[in-house]
Chains A and B, each alone.
Chain A
Amino acid sequence: MTTLTPAPHKQKAGPRFLGRTGKSRLDPTRNSTAAGLAAWAAALIFAIPVFWMVLTSFHSENDAATNPPSIAANLTLDSYRNLFSGASGLDPWPPLINSATASILSTILVLALAIPAAYALSIKPIEKWTDVMFFFLSTKMLPIVAALLPLFLFARNAGTLDNIWFLILLYTSMNLPIAVWMMRSFLAEVPAEMLEAAQIDGAGLILTLRKVVAPVAMPGIAATALICFIFSWNELLLARVLTGVVAGTAPVFLTSFVSSQGLFLAKVCTAAVVISLPVLIAGFAAQDKLVQGLSLGAVK
């Protein structure tokens, strides 16, 4: 009951207290304990599935399948050893190599196509360059599933079914619009005065690109590459329909666990950790530019 009645001195001190330290509630140097606690709680809840996945991957199959969960069970590398030795009859290396091939080569192709295009859209812009930009973007918005059947029929007739190169071409087209948008916004940051100065000094195209454009654009190129890599690595639908035993990628490998039964929980967590690791590394490396890539360059 007493708590309902505010103490008189508190009431008096309230406004003064605010007036003293609350000169700006947005002052970025001011610590907010309440917001901090709430944010920590939310972050823990969101991260629990990730922690649990990692923890379970280091448990034995028997400890992984208990109710209530055995959080403090002994840690072991058994399921990593089993996964990579192919003890379960599933060898993870071919799909991992396929995924790496498809993601890295398509990213290189994307950059080779997107950088010149972005150059023609920012540094020496063509007429109607915004129209071209929005054409690129509109292709990204059409659902892949609607193009799936013709792609499948084409691949079957051309003999490119289960061929990693066909997947590489498709991943290139999937990521090209994002890369063009990102690269354009990075190249637009090259100061016009510097380009003019280079021209006055008589620097040729190659020299200008190397000495003026590249230093400014390099971090952007790296971020674009990482984001294209992530999207290719994650892709399932095209890979599932267009590849099989030979060219199957890591996500296709993971689908073999969809209807698993029995003691396999540690194994599935191990596979999930191993296959997510490249994306986690690339994502945290590109953290600062992640928003720009995901919003197609609209947000800086």
Chain B
Amino acid sequence: MSSATATPQRQRPSRHPSTSDPQANARARATRWARRAPLLPALIFLIVVTQLPFVATLVISFMNWNSLRPNDTGFAGFDNYISVLTDTDLRASIITTIVLTVTVVLVSLLLGLGLALLLDKKFIGRGIVRTMLIAPFLIVPVAAALIWKHALLNPSYGLVNGTLTWVWSLFGSDNPPQPELLSQAPLFAVEASLIWQWTPFMMLILLAGLQSRPLDVIEAAQIDGASRWQIFRYLTLPHLRQYLELGGLLGTIYIVQNFDAVFTLTSGGLGTANLPFSIYQTFYTANDYGLASATGVVVVIGTIIIATFALRTVFTLFQKEEAR
């Protein structure tokens, strides 16, 4: 994928241009390898640990392999892929993955943008506010999901229903609404907890974008009488576009892979099973290795599509930073 990208090279001209002199050639080659040497351990390690398992997954995805029925193991062709696309549970989990990812990314981007715009202003206690806003992102994901499940959303003594009881009692009512979000709107509960955790991430990236705005241009626009909205619409937003894209794409890549929140909050029940959870279940509980691998390949294909865009955005920003 990366080799296809035309990349500008900050290649330093070799002090010994290659000549027909074999000794000089050998020396040039030795220098080149001496430069590459520090890179090789990392590169080889990464290829072995991350690329080989994917090759194995690809191979297994074309096999009939259920460890509960070892005698039926064999070549399956595209059977597993057909199952992925026809199995109602798996199809549902593809849709759940899309709905969950799009909702969480869009809402946390919007909230993150609003918070970044607020934090870009100066006010009393800005440092404390920033710290408080980052905190949700720094809670271990499983712990955060447990807090949402038990301490906030528990129908009989969670904070949400407890607060409703308290507010209603202020108005003399002893009949407050007590929604059971985890069973009545399970996907919403998962989304809410993820939005809570990911908004700080978006805010941090967008705040970095806001603070890299060229202030002189904006001041010039103000002197020319541009309104606040015009400045936001025609100067700030175009400048932020790349940061919005970066936040959205990285958020997408992380949230498509989310396992912790689904596993903890609902254990994949009531239509909240996304693809990572389904794969985990297909191989860990159902022991259907072939089907789990085919589902994994489908996730990889989907991720590659998003990742291509993500890499392009990172590349543009990267070039800008290099040019500085």
Chain A residues at the B interface, C-beta cutoff of 8 Å: 24-26, 28-33, 35-36, 38-40, 42-44, 46-50, 52-53, 56, 64-69, 113-114, 116-117, 119-121, 124-139, 141-154, 169-170, 172-173, 176-177, 180, 185, 230, 233-234, 236-237, 240-241, 250-251, 254-255, 257-260, 264-265, 268-269, 271-272, 275-276, 279-280, 283-284, 287, 290-291, 294-300
Contact = CB atoms under 8 A, between A and B. Distances in A.
Contacts of A150: 52-54, 56-57, 60
B123 interface: yes
A287 B204 CA distance: 10
Interface of B: 1-3, 5, 7-12, 32, 35-39, 41-43, 45-46, 49-54, 56-57, 60, 114-115, 117-119, 121-126, 128-129, 131-144, 146-152, 154, 156-157, 159, 161-163, 165-166, 169, 196, 199-201, 204-205, 207-209, 215, 218-219, 222, 228, 243, 246, 250, 253, 256-257, 259-260, 263-264, 267, 275-276, 279-280, 283-284, 289, 292-293, 296-297, 299-300, 303-304, 306-307, 310-311, 313-315, 317-318, 321
A146 B297 contact: yes
- In the complex, the 8 A-B pairs of residues with the closest C-beta atoms, listed nearest first: A36-B123, A116-B38, A146-B296, A150-B56, A134-B2, A147-B53, A272-B143, A173-B49
Contacts of B256: 143
Contacts of B219: 24, 26
Given A46-B196, A176-B42, A39 B131 contact: no
A83 to B, nearest CB: 13
A13 B132 CA distance: 38
Nearest to A56: B151
Contact of B115 (A39, A177, A294, A299): A39
Contacts of B263: 236, 240, 255, 258
Given A69-B166, A137-B311, A185-B321, A149 B2 contact: no
A134 B311 CA distance: 8
